[in-house]
């Protein structure tokens, strides 16, 4: 072949160059990321092809960047695989080999403005023309007997290739070192910035910090942190993990847990994930500040990618590195990417598995739960991992001694009564409030555990899960007293307010009277079999909606009306017994009416439905006045 030849660029490359040369894009520094990652690929390829045989020299594999202020040049060299002349024409001369193709397509789709999309694409080698007047590539393939070749172009439409032989004024091609060096002759207005050594080091650290080969800027190493996720686990110390975690998150605390994993199928990826000690989700701020950093072969492709993990695991910080994606993949393509979805599926399972392991240490898991459960609970929508997710939920319950004790569904099931195929739960503002909830009295009497729910999302979780290991989730409030009645009592002491139930007729008459007094305010009035210590409670007539859920639904529909409920009276309560007696002797006794209203409004108050407390307060004051008079007389 001729020792020197000039070729025209293909039309599409001309178009690309035209755009890049005239671009006003400000972050031109990304050209360095592209050249460094090409160099790193070339080193990787050499390592793979020569895995078992020694290379022709013992020099360490590295990337050198030399800046020359006076000559206004920047040279990026690697002692990687190099290119033969044919490869050079094929690789650099055709767009099929470059990220440029997808860039051009996106450019077309975007209606022609390049500046908005340059940074989001790996524009490849040609991005160098954003800063270069001309570029000179010198390369020699690792293949035995290869001659060195030189490629030069000012990016104006043509390039020249010549063999580097002693005959044409250049050094002898066979003595040129293996690998590739790219000399960038900087544009005048870019020379200052891209020959500044500190600036260059900063750019390397920003975009290429985890490249697996040393990157030397004017002889000094610039990439400081090794790509820890690609290193064998057993070689990594706890301190290294912590250091990397701090580098990644700026969090100076130690991470609570580390997940370091390497997966080959169904998709290849390495991941290094951390569980921070503290939640960032306080008060719901910074909702967008999450995601894993996505690397392709140690090159950062996207910071905080939100498709790699589900949102309910957003407390996980870390990186994912895959070999299965091209370096120059666009964000648009990433968003609905099958590979990313596969990584997500695998990683989700692994993180849940890791949490499962952590749960064996109750104290540690409680810490996790305190910090991250608010976010984690949204996982009730992950139907694929429902069983595992459910197993990781924790609640306070009636069986706990302290407010911060936690139980799992499995703990609950292990204590369930014979034939109890239900998990009972109740929603309330606090443990104290739930202890006083009349609906839970029968559970105490029968020794049946009730999970305590304190946050509105808890009820959605229960509703969505519906079952766990064949146990049905049932709100204590709508539990059927018959289901519990069969169980033997565990509370032997009768409540102090208890009294023998009134005769059937007297009770019936009282129920009718109370219903007449309350009229349209209630759906029905009936005797209760669920109460022990309280005189009354309200239940939903449909038998399945809880009052807390009902309230959420109503507030969503801007409905402020008071729902019609069934008032249940406890026949074994002294107050009910007295009222029945009074009603028996005088069917119009005004005290019965007053007491009926008072009981009903107190029950409404407990359920949070009483909007106007005036009547109730007036009645309480009237009753206190009367009773204090009687009390004073009897003293």
List residues binding ligand ADP (CB under 6 A).
Answer: 34, 38-39, 42, 78, 80-83, 91-92, 97-99, 122, 124-125, 180, 327-328
Q: How far is the CB of 30 from ligand ADP (least distance, A)?
A: 12
Give 39 or 314: the residue with its C-beta nearer to ligand ADP: 39
Give 101 or 517: the residue with its C-beta nearer to ligand ADP: 101
Structure tokens at 387: 């069983």
Contact (CB, 8 A) for 12 and 107: no
- How many Å apart are CA 211 and CA 201, to the nearest integer? 13
Q: Which residues fall within 8 angstroms of residue 504, CB to CB, at 6 or more apart? A: none
Give 37 or 209: the residue with its C-beta nearer to ligand ADP: 37
Give 324 or 559: the residue with its C-beta nearer to ligand ADP: 324
Sign of CA dihedral 610, 616, 618, 624: negative
Give 132 or 347: the residue with its C-beta nearer to ligand ADP: 132
Give 83 or 273: the residue with its C-beta nearer to ligand ADP: 83
C-beta nearest to ligand ADP: residue:
124
Give 159 or 412: the residue with its C-beta nearer to ligand ADP: 159
Contact (CB, 8 A) for 88 and 137: yes
User: With 0-12 CB in 10 A as exposed, 13-18 as middle and 19+ as buried, what is 236?
Assistant: middle
Q: How far is the CB of 49 from ligand ADP (least distance, A)?
A: 12
- How many Å apart are CA 322 and CA 340, to the nearest integer? 9
Element of type H or E holding 624 = helix 614-634
Give 325 or 507: the residue with its C-beta nearer to ligand ADP: 325
Q: How far is the CB of 54 from ligand ADP (least distance, A)?
A: 20
Residue with tokens 């160099």: 39
Element of type H or E holding 632 = helix 614-634
Q: How far is the CB of 74 from ligand ADP (least distance, A)?
A: 14
CB atoms under 10 Å from CB of 520, counted, come to 6
Q: How far is the CB of 99 from ligand ADP (least distance, A)?
A: 4
- How many Å apart are CA 358 and CA 267, to the nearest integer? 26
Q: How far is the CB of 462 from ligand ADP (least distance, A)?
A: 51
Q: How far is the CB of 87 from ligand ADP (least distance, A)?
A: 7
Residue with tokens 């104006």: 156
Q: How far is the CB of 141 from ligand ADP (least distance, A)?
A: 9
Eight-state DSSP code of residue 503: P
Element of type H or E holding 34 = helix 30-49
Distance of CA 529 to the CA centre of its chain: 45
Q: How far is the CB of 95 from ligand ADP (least distance, A)?
A: 8
Nearest to 571 by CA among 606, 534, 539: 534
Contact (CB, 8 A) for 385 and 352: yes
Point out which residues pair with 258 in neighbouring strands: 274
Contact (CB, 8 A) for 343 and 320: yes
Range list of β-strands (E), 276-428? 292-296, 299-305, 317-322, 396-397, 422-427
Residue with tokens 């040609």: 126
**What phi and psi, each to the nearest 5 degrees, are found at residue 215?**
-115, 120
Q: How far is the CB of 327 from ligand ADP (least distance, A)?
A: 6
Q: How far is the CB of 62 from ligand ADP (least distance, A)?
A: 13
Report the half-sphere exposure of 193 (CA within 13 A, side-chain side): 13
Give 81 or 184: the residue with its C-beta nearer to ligand ADP: 81
- How many Å apart are CA 316 and CA 276, to the nearest integer? 7
CA distances to 120, 360, 620 from 414, rounded to whole Å, are 54, 16, 46
Helix (H, G, I), strand (E, B) or coil at 351: helix
Contact (CB, 8 A) for 518 and 428: no
**What phi and psi, each to the nearest 5 degrees, are found at residue 71?**
-80, -10
Give 77 or 534: the residue with its C-beta nearer to ligand ADP: 77
Contact (CB, 8 A) for 427 and 453: yes
In this structure, the strands spanning 422-427 and 451-453 are parallel
Q: How far is the CB of 265 from ligand ADP (least distance, A)?
A: 26
Q: How far is the CB of 144 from ligand ADP (least distance, A)?
A: 17
Chain length of the chain:
635
Structure tokens at 611: 């909007």
Give 122 or 310: the residue with its C-beta nearer to ligand ADP: 122
First to last CA, the chain: 125
Give 61 or 292: the residue with its C-beta nearer to ligand ADP: 61
Q: How far is the CB of 101 from ligand ADP (least distance, A)?
A: 9
Helix (H, G, I), strand (E, B) or coil at 478: helix
Give 182 or 319: the residue with its C-beta nearer to ligand ADP: 182
Give 142 or 201: the residue with its C-beta nearer to ligand ADP: 142
Q: How far is the CB of 148 from ligand ADP (least distance, A)?
A: 13
Give 139 or 373: the residue with its C-beta nearer to ligand ADP: 139
């Amino acid at each position: 072949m001729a020792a020197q030849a000039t070729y025209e660029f293909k039309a599409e490359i001309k178009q690309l160059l035209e755009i890049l040369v005239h671009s006003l894009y400000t972050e031109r520094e990304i050209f360095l990321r592209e050249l460094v990652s090409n160099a790193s690929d070339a080193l990787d390829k050499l390592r793979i092809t020569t895995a078992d045989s020694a290379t022709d020299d013992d020099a360490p594999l590295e990337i050198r960047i030399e800046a020359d202020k006076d000559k206004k040049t920047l040279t990026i060299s690697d002692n990687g695989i190099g290119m033969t002349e044919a490869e050079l024409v094929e690789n650099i001369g055709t767009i099929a080999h470059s990220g440029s193709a997808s860039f051009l397509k996106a450019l077309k789709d975007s209606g022609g403005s390049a500046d908005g999309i340059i940074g989001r694409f790996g524009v490849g080698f040609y991005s160098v023309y954003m800063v270069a007047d001309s570029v000179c590539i010198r390369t020699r393939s690792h293949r035995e007997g290869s001659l060195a070749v030189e490629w030069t172009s000012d990016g104006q439409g043509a390039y020249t290739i010549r063999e580097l032989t002693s005959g044409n004024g250049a050094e002898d091609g066979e003595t040129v070192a293996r690998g590739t060096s790219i000399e960038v002759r900087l544009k005048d207005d870019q020379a200052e910035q891209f020959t500044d050594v500190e600036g260059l080091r900063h750019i390397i650290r920003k975009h290429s910090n985890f490249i697996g080969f040393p990157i030397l800027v004017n002889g000094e190493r610039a990439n400081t942190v090794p790509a820890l996720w690609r290193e064998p686990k057993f070689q990594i110390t706890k301190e290294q993990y912590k250091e990397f975690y701090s580098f990644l998150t700026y969090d100076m605390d130690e991470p609570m847990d580390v997940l370091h994993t390497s997966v080959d199928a169904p998709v290849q990826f390495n991941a290094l994930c951390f569980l921070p000690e503290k939640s960032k989700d306080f008060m719901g701020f910074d909702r967008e500040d999450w995601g894993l950093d996505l690397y392709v072969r140690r090159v950062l492709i996207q910071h905080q990618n939100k498709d790699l993990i589900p949102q309910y695991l957003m407390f996980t910080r870390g990186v994912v590195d895959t070999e299965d994606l091209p370096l120059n993949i666009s964000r648009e393509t990433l968003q609905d990417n099958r590979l990313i979805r596969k990584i997500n599926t695998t990683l989700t399972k692994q993180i849940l598995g890791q949490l499962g392991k952590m749960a064996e240490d109750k104290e540690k898991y409680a810490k996790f739960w305190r910090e991250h459960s608010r976010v984690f609970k949204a996982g009730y929508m992950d139907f694929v991992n429902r069983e595992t997710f459910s197993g990781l939920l924790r609640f306070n319950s009636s069986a706990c001694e302290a407010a911060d004790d936690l139980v799992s569904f499995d703990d609950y099931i292990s204590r369930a009564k014979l034939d109890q195929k239900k998990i009972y739960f109740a929603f309330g503002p606090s443990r104290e409030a739930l202890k006083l909830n009349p609906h839970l009295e029968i559970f105490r009497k029968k020794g049946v555990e009730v999970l305590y729910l304190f946050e509105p999302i808890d009820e959605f979780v229960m509703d969505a899960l519906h079952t766990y290991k064949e146990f049905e989730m049932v709100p204590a409030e709508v539990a059927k007293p018959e289901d519990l009645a069969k169980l033997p009592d565990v509370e032997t002491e009768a409540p102090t307010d208890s009294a023998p139930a009134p005769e059937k007729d007297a009770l019936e008459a009282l129920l009718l009277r109370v219903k007449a007094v309350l009229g349209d305010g209630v759906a029905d009035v009936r005797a209760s079999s669920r109460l022990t210590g309280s005189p009354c409670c309200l239940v939903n007539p449909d038998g399945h909606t809880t009052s807390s859920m009902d309230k959420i639904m109503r507030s969503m529909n801007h409905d402020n009306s008071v729902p019609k409920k069934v008032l249940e009276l406890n026949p074994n309560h002294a107050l009910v017994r007295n009222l029945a007696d009074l009603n028996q002797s005088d069917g119009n006794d005004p005290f019965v009416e007053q007491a009926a209203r008072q009981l009903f409004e107190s029950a409404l108050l407990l359920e949070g439905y009483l909007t106007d407390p005036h009547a109730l307060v007036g009645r309480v004051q009237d009753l206190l006045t009367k009773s204090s008079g009687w009390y004073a007389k009897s003293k």
